[in-house]
Structure 1
Amino acid sequence: MHGTELRRKLAEETGQITWQELERHFARGALIVIGPELNLVETAARIAEDDAVSVQGWIQRGQVVRATDEHARRWVHSRSRLWAVVVAPWVLVQESEPPKIH
């Protein structure tokens, strides 16, 4: 599956998730953090399509990283909202800020 169909499928499978639901993926080393400047669905599609050039560039720029203990500590103690999508064997997550209350 490639192109528009893949992106549509990934978008449909993307959702918010709690840290507790992600802990087991973190423990097995399969949790990947996507930087806020990237589009989660597009990044997931590029990974699924084995677009090594794009992925390597993001890794080199620190925009795609394996979740660290620091990420885990922050997520445990904060109200971060995480968006997630699976691109087996990886679970990609991206932080989003809670809505501001005026």
Structure 2
Amino acid sequence: MDKASAKQELLSQTAKISWEELQRFFAAGKLIYVSQPLDLIEVGAELIQDNKAQFLEWTQSQAIHPVNDEQAQLWSKSNPTLWAAAVSPWVLIQELKAE
């Protein structure tokens, strides 16, 4: 799948969702945090294309990482709404941008 097609596919699998609804993915170890200013759809497209070099760069810089217990506890208290994109078996999440 080319990058444009991957992005188009992801757009149909992206939504705002509450932390409460995401907790089961966290419990399964399937939740990946995407920090700002990265574009959630761009990250998902790179994952679909299996761009290992880009993912290595992002993980080494902590721009993307599995959601940790501390963050999960904070979100459990505040139950924020997050952007989520499904890239099986993973769910990429990102905090909403302040407007």
| TM > 0.5 fold call | yes
1:88 maps to 88
- Work out the CA distance in 2 between the residues paired with 1:92 and 1:57: 17
CA deviation vs aligned residue, 1:43-80 (integer Å, no higher than 9, x gap): 00001110001000000000010001111112112253
Identity score, percent: 35
Report the RMSD for the aligned CA atoms in angstroms. 1.4
Unmatched segments (≥5 aa) in structure 1? none
Asked whether the 8 Å contact 2:40–2:94 carries over to 1, the reply is yes
Unmatched segments (≥5 aa) in structure 2? none
Question: Counterparts of 1:20-99 in structure 2 under 5 Å?
Answer: 20-78=20-78, 80-97=80-97, 99=99
Asked whether the 8 Å contact 2:34–2:65 carries over to 1, the reply is yes
Q: TM-score, normalised by structure 2?
A: 0.92
Rg: which structure is higher? 1
* Superposition misfits of 4+ residues, deviation over 4 angstroms: none
Q: TM-score, normalised by structure 1?
A: 0.89
Q: Which amino acid aligns with 2:69?
A: D
